[in-house]
Amino acid sequence: MTVIQELSEQLQQGNPKNVAELTRQAINENIDIKTILDKGLIAGMSVIGEKFKAHEIFLPHVLLAAKAMYAGMDLLKPLLLKEGIPTRGKVIIGSVQGDLHDIGKNLVAIMLKGAGFEVIDLGNDVSPEKFLDTAEKENAGVVGMSALLTTTMPVMKKVIDLARARGLYGKKRFIVGGAPLSSEYAKEIGADAYCFDGVSAVETVKRFAGIF
Amino acid sequence: MQSLAERLTQPGVLIADGAIGTMLFKCGLIAGECPEKINLDRSEILEEIALLYFHAGAEIVQTNTFGGSPLKLAMYSLDNKTEEINARAVQAVRKIVRDEAYISASCGPTGKLLEPFGDTKPEQIFETYRRQMKTLLAEGVDMICIETMTDIAEAVLAVKAARSISSMIPVCATMTFDPTPRGFYTIMGSTIEQAASELNNAGADIIGSNCGNGIMNMVTIAKEFKKHTTLPIIIQSNAGIPILKDGVSIYPETPEYMTEQSRELIDIDIKILGGCCGTTPAHIEAFKKILRENSAKTY
Ligand code: B1M
């Protein structure tokens, strides 16, 4: 088994200690950060997601896997941030109201920071008011929303509707992401862009900032 | 009125009330607001809901204390008001039902997860329920109802907390199961068999299921419980699984439909029949009606 396969395996076992150890090892072996992230950590987490969906495993197992995921992400974070040259622009990011999933959102925040943007992370369970109040107060150009549940997706529309009511729509850019979303849905609710993952979020925000 | 403990030993199904949460939203509770805060500042709403269910024929009426444990209230910085919040809830129901219905004290999950997958210690869970239940019992409730549990370990701690205060009070414990291809499991992975045995060992008097399912699945769940326990069974079904329509949740099962399916629950001799999310006084009234028809047949 390669170190990357083992990393995915240990994440699925929910073992934070081994995941940290293997991530360190992979970094030392000069394996590409993106490979460690995509083929190791994210790949392991998606197996967990499938097994949970099939009711083969239950929430305690998913929670342990999430802990393990963070053990790896914490080590990758400084490396992802390294190239960052701050002040390319400000981005507000958060998981929408009712949604406690924050792994994907945190990853996107790290990648945006790494690309040189100033990121204000509002955490999870963020109300529409808080998104917009902060965007106004901080004079941020981009508002990024994450939702992992079909039941919390409609909150994104609420944020955009509220932005319309407050005259912020068109002035600020709204990007959305998360496993259950699609570009059709983003279009339907009036978001400026749907981002499949962290990389596409970085590309999109760069485009909005006029950086290509 | 005879004590609930006595009543439970006699034949016949008891009718409990229906949803409180969905009713509160109708009465103006805002999403994100602490549902128990109204016990402090708008207790007339509690009286209104209790009255509706009492008039519908509920013999057991619940208190608005589902999230009344200090650990849960702390999420709204209201834990310092634990005693007042729980006491007011009981007083509001007592004012309506006087001694003509039993009061069941609702105790829901703390919202915390136990170690090792969460960060909370068993002692913290036990103590938080003990503090909530002390007030509820001091206010003279007729039953402690631990409900919507998904982690059997938390449910057991709650039952033990109740038992540590009173050896006499009827303690009811219900869990929420999901249908899977391999049978019913809670989201935390507990089975019905496990629930039946562990809740019994912890000292529960009445066990069963609430929430998460419509009436059809609840019939299956009740039958499964029957296989694994001789304790009286309680079933509080949702009015189906909510359908999201234009951003609003709609519960599809009508009083007529639920009542028709409930006949099977009465046939297998469950002890308490009530409703959970989406059920209304109309559902309770319909339950009550078929019970009357049923007893007319038997006697
Ligand atoms: C702003 O711009 C952007 C741009 C891109 C953006 C973006 C924002 N946000 C995300 N992206 C994108 O970029 C990221 C990087 O590539 C990606 O982010 P992702 O988040 O998709 O990917 C992460 C890197 C890894 N993926 C994850 O972290 C999610 C993994 C799965 C397994 C998952 C986890 C870990 C958890 N969960 Co939950 N969980 C599942 C997930 C299954 C799955 N396959 O997605 C899902 C999402 N969960 C589900 C459910 C049902 C639930 N979960 C719940 C709870 C949890 C845990 C707490 C245990 C845990 C979260 C821990 C945490 N701190 O985040 C509950 C809800 C809690 C709540 N209110 O939010 C609960 C309701 C379970 C319950 N009954 O209690 C399912 C949702 C079904 C649905 N479609 O609605 C689910 C799909 C699992 C399943 N297959 O059934 C992209 O989507």
Tell me, yes or no, whether A130 and A150 share the same domain: yes
Calculate how close chain B gets to A63, using CA atoms only, in Å: 6
B240 CA → ligand 1 middle, Å: 25
pLDDT (tens place) for every residue of chain B, 299 residues total: 899 999 999 999 999 999 988 788 777 777 667 899 999 999 999 999 999 999 999 999 999 999 999 999 998 999 999 999 999 999 999 999 999 999 999 999 999 999 988 889 999 999 999 999 999 999 999 999 999 999 999 999 999 999 999 999 999 999 999 999 999 999 999 999 999 999 999 999 999 999 999 999 999 999 999 999 999 999 999 999 888 676 667 899 999 999 999 999 999 999 999 999 999 999 999 999 988 887 766 54
What is the model's pLDDT at position A201?
A: 93
Asked whether A104 lines ligand 1 (CB < 6 A), one says yes
Token code pair at residue B232: 């009286």
Q: Are residues A97 and A183 in the same domain?
A: yes
Q: What is the pLDDT at residue B140?
A: 97
Indicate whether A124 and A185 sit together in one domain: yes
Please check whether residues A151 and A188 belong to one and the same domain. Answer: yes
Collect all residues from B whose CB is shorter than 8 A from any CB in A: 32, 113, 116-118, 150, 178, 180-182, 185-189, 244, 247
> Pick from A53, A83, A113: which residue ends a domain?
A83
A2 touches chain B (CB under 8 A): no
Residue B3 DSSP SS3 = coil
CA of B66 to the centre of ligand 1 (A): 27
Assign residue A62 the CATH number of its domain.
1.10.1240.10
Same domain membership, residue A94 and residue A78: no
pLDDT at position B135 is 98
Rounded-to-integer distance, Cα B238 and Cα B218, Å: 9
> Which of B164, B276, B293 lies closest to B221 in space, CA to CA?
B276
Which portions of chain A are predicted below pLDDT 50?
Answer: 85-86
**How many domains, in total, are found in chain A?**
2
Q: How far is CA B167 from CA B7, B86, B104, B137, B229, in A?
A: 17, 21, 16, 12, 20
A135 with A182, same domain? yes
Sequence-distant (6+) residues with CB within 8 A of A202 are A111, A112, A114, A115
Instruction: Give the model's pLDDT for residue B292.
Output: 85
Domain that holds residue A181: 90-208
> Does ligand 1 come within 6 angstroms of the Cβ of A190?
no
- Which tokens belong to B136? 């509820």
CA distance B245 to chain A (A): 11
> Which pLDDT does position B250 carry in this prediction?
85
Q: Give the class (CATH, top level) of B4-298.
A: alpha beta
Regarding whether A152 and A78 lie in a shared domain, the answer is no
Cβ within 8 Å, pair A55-B178: yes
Quote the pLDDT of residue A198.
85
Q: What angle do CA A130, A135, A136 make, to 5 degrees?
A: 100
Domain residue spans in chain B? 4-298
pLDDT reported for residue A36 = 94
ipTM associated with this complex:
0.82
Instruction: Say whether both A160 and A57 belong to one domain.
Output: no
Same domain, A46 and A130: no
Which of B32, B116, B178 lies nearest to residue A127, judging by beta carbons?
B32
Shared domain check, A195 and A123 = yes
Q: What is the dihedral of CA A210, A205, A164, A191, to 10 degrees?
A: 120
- To 10 degrees, what angle do helices A16-28 and A59-81 make? 30
A72, containing H or E segment: helix A59-81
Looking up residue A201, the CATH number of its domain turns out to be: 3.40.50.280
Residue A204 Cβ contacting ligand 1 at under 6 Å:
no
Please give the pLDDT value at position A111.
Answer: 78
Note if the bond before B170 is cis, omega within 30 degrees: no
Q: Do B117 and A58 touch (CB under 8 A)?
A: no
Q: Are residues A74 and A94 in the same domain?
A: no
- Alpha-carbon distance of B258 to B99, in angstroms, equals 29
Tokens of A186: 């983003």
Check whether residue A100 and residue A79 sit in a common domain: no
